[in-house]
Structure 1
Amino acid sequence: MGRVLVVDDDEVIRQLIAVNLTLEGFEVATACDGQDCLDRVHDIDPDVITLDVMMPRLDGWETATRLRSDPSTRHIKVVLITARAQEEDRRRGLGIGVDAYVTKPFDPAELIQIVRELAESDGSA
């Protein structure tokens, strides 16, 4: 189905997303913040990363920017998941080059569908 790296500093949300994706057949790894994501992304080699925006150490904006600027990770599909629902935040995410923008609270079924579509478009399904 595909490999997903779930990045969120809130353990409950991280586990909610991870469990739902696992039940749908995805191979799932987790990271607790942006720095943890960048430290582990090459070992995990995900097809899709779900990325919270507001996190300690390294936020989702900077993490996504670094993923896009690195030739070895720029192909990975990125879904920003955030409580920041303003249009300027959405534009900022799209400007960085994220593939989808999901606002909290979110419907897990919708998130799974987005991740599935992105994983399949990557040719990994």
Structure 2
Amino acid sequence: MPGAPGRVLVVDDSQAIRQLIRVNLELDGFEVMTASDGAECLEAVHALRPDVITLDLAMPRLDGLGTVGRLRTDARTGHIPLVLVSASACWREPPHGVDAALAKPFDPGELVRLVRRLWSEGRSRAVRLVKPVAECRPGSRTLAP
């Protein structure tokens, strides 16, 4: 979208969630690209050059925390603000390396405000490497039939 305030890469294995996030961010003027899992995100991130990335936790091939770890250890992507959007509520605060976490189901307006804030602030705090969250188990899908 020409004149968009920023670019967001939405990473989720649910097409419905990707579409929900995409529509709401586009209505707020963001340019939105999508990926269906962490591996696809890593394949596309250098070409797409997003300003913010939203990530699901439980995804095939490469999950959200694995993706966070790889993004944070790459000098070209370590600065990009990351929002974890997941049905799993196993954290009291966002995991290391993640700028914000939002539980599914979420208020689309809240997600848009969060992405806009992270985009406008940029990543100002030091990048911390992701620590494994062994006790974390992926939650159930929110849009299961």
TM-score normalised to the size of structure 1?
Answer: 0.91
- Structure showing the higher strand proportion among its residues: 1
Paired-residue identity, % = 58
Partner of 2:110: 110
Pairing 1:55-70 to 2, within 5 Å after superposition:
55-70=59-74
Q: TM-score, normalised by structure 2?
A: 0.79
Q: List per-residue Cα deviations over 1:29-88 (Å, max 9, x = no partner).
A: 00010000000000100000000010000000100110001111001000001111123x
Q: Aligned-pair RMSD on alpha carbons? A: 1.2
Equivalenced residue count is 119
Aligned to 1:2: 6
User: 2:77 aligned with 1:73, yes or no?
Assistant: yes
Query: Structure 2 matches for 1:1-125, cutoff 5 A?
Result: 1-87=5-91, 90-91=92-93, 93-95=94-96, 97-122=97-122
In structure 2, C-alpha distance between the alignment counterparts of 1:19 and 1:35, rounded to whole Å: 23
Which structure has more RCO (C-alpha within 8 Å, separation ≥ 6)?
1
User: CA separation in 1, counterparts of 2:66 and 2:114?
Assistant: 22
Gaps of 5+ in 2: 124-145
Letter in 2 for 1:103: A
| Cα drift, residue 122 of structure 1 | 1.8
Paired amino acid for 1:5? L
Larger helix share, 1 or 2? 1
Structure with bigger gyration radius:
2
